[in-house]
Amino acid sequence: MADAEPKTNQEQDVNPWSVAGAQNEAGEVVAIDYLALSKKWNTSLIDDAILERFEKVTGHKPHRWMRRGLFFSHRDFERILDRYEEGKPFFLYTGRGPSSGSLHLGHTIPLEFTRWLQEVFDVPLVFMLTDDEKALFNEKLTFETALEFAMENARDIIALGFDVKKTFLYSDLKYVSNHILMNAWEFSKYIPFNQVRGAFGFDGSTNIGKIFFPAVQCVAAFATSYPEIWSDEPAKTRTKEIASIPCLIPMGIDQDPYFRLLRDNAHRMRFPSPKPALIHSKFLTALQGAGGKMSSSNPNSAIFMTDTAKQIKAKINKHAFSGGQETLELQRELGGNPDIDVSYIYLTYFEEDDAKLEQLHKDYKSGALLTGELKKLAIEALQKVVADFQERRAKVTDEVLESFMKPRKLHWGGNPNPKPKADKETKDLPIQTKA
């Protein structure tokens, strides 16, 4: 598409279909202002108090991505911590839009974080592949191809290490029927077009599939959408008890508009569900630097999970934006800026050791560390992440795929040492956890 004029002084635009940083007067894209986004959308920030509470309640140090503000925002996360503390059931829900056959590193961030949460909380996870959405929103993508992408992506997702006993992974085109479809129809009945038109940028020419789709993505957060996972004898109809099980949704912040709609309307269902809790991540910076995110449509912006060690090395060396000085002499003299340096930014994602990271920050700033040295560290870290992934991916057979995608009862443990609160509402739910 040929843009008529370069637009300048544009505000940042973040929505479920595109993410663009603001542009300054010179027409340069600047970094996404996540604080402004949180303020505009009225989300809560992940602050020290909630990190402390997380550690106290779970006995786990918060994930480095929480400690470092990469998962930076939430809605009602503390309510999930309360649930966990009391040993009451809840579940995780996340998803992926299969827009291509393979994932890049940026896609894996919210997914790896979800895997970690599943391990820490020991709870069920439902994972939605929105092949329907991708075909509806992309003129050229057929439903058949979107479904093929979903199945390929499913293997990648499994390779991230989710626990099959606790994970139900599904393609919308295959699974959406029965209870989840009834939920979607019922939910859609409560949403006038006016309520989504603005928030989702729909107008009179929008195909009606797109207009209905948000209902599908939303109701996936209702426990009643999955009668099979709670019991060996799945409920024949939706029930009030199952509807009352709350959900936590880890996601990139761009997905928030869907779940605001859900939180505003969940109580209107015949069997109401609590407002789902949300936890939001930032986007993994593109190789070119702040203001962009890794994108499949620009191969030089992203590290793909199929990249070889050699490709990773070449991409970082050639494309990773550097906050260092032009020459070695200047770097030694003036030091560089780690905060805009893409290699450093990637290390904040993958270096576990806080002290080591802080030392790198200091040394880069002082000039003790050179750009080439920093790039080398980033290359090694990414090569390891991708190689480990590829090793696990090679083991995902058809049988493994099938075992994750079969609707069935899940088995989980929850909090091993709950502190139940005296509460009349805690009747035993018709839910079996352990086998």
Q: Which residues here bind ligand TRP, judged by CB under 6 A?
A: 16, 94-97, 128, 130, 133, 217, 220, 249, 251, 255
Q: Which is nearer to ligand TRP, 96 or 313 (CB)?
A: 96
Q: State in angstroms the smallest separation of the CB of 96 from ligand TRP.
A: 5
CA–CA distance, 164 with 410 (Å, rounded to integer) = 8
On whether the CB atoms of residues 320 and 378 are closer than 8 A, the answer is: yes
Q: State in angstroms the smallest separation of the CB of 68 from ligand TRP.
A: 21
Q: Which is nearer to ligand TRP, 97 or 289 (CB)?
A: 97
Exposure b/e, 163-181, CB count within 10 A at least 16 = b: beebbbbbbbbebbeebbe
- Comparing CA positions, the residue from 236, 234, 245, 235 lying closest to residue 272 is 245
- Phi first, then psi, for residue 88 (nearest 5°) are -95, 150
Q: Which is nearer to ligand TRP, 96 or 115 (CB)?
A: 96
Q: State in angstroms the smallest separation of the CB of 42 from ligand TRP.
A: 19
Q: State in angstroms the smallest separation of the CB of 273 from ligand TRP.
A: 15
Q: Which is nearer to ligand TRP, 215 or 374 (CB)?
A: 215
Q: State in angstroms the smallest separation of the CB of 126 from ligand TRP.
A: 9
Q: Which is nearer to ligand TRP, 96 or 275 (CB)?
A: 96
Q: Which is nearer to ligand TRP, 259 or 389 (CB)?
A: 259
Q: State in angstroms the smallest separation of the CB of 225 from ligand TRP.
A: 12
Q: State in angstroms the smallest separation of the CB of 140 from ligand TRP.
A: 17
Q: State in angstroms the smallest separation of the CB of 133 from ligand TRP.
A: 6
CA–CA distance, 290 with 340 (Å, rounded to integer) = 7
Q: State in angstroms the smallest separation of the CB of 115 from ligand TRP.
A: 14
Q: Which is nearer to ligand TRP, 185 or 329 (CB)?
A: 185
CA–CA distance, 183 with 199 (Å, rounded to integer) = 22
Q: Which is nearer to ligand TRP, 264 or 326 (CB)?
A: 264
Q: Which is nearer to ligand TRP, 132 or 307 (CB)?
A: 132
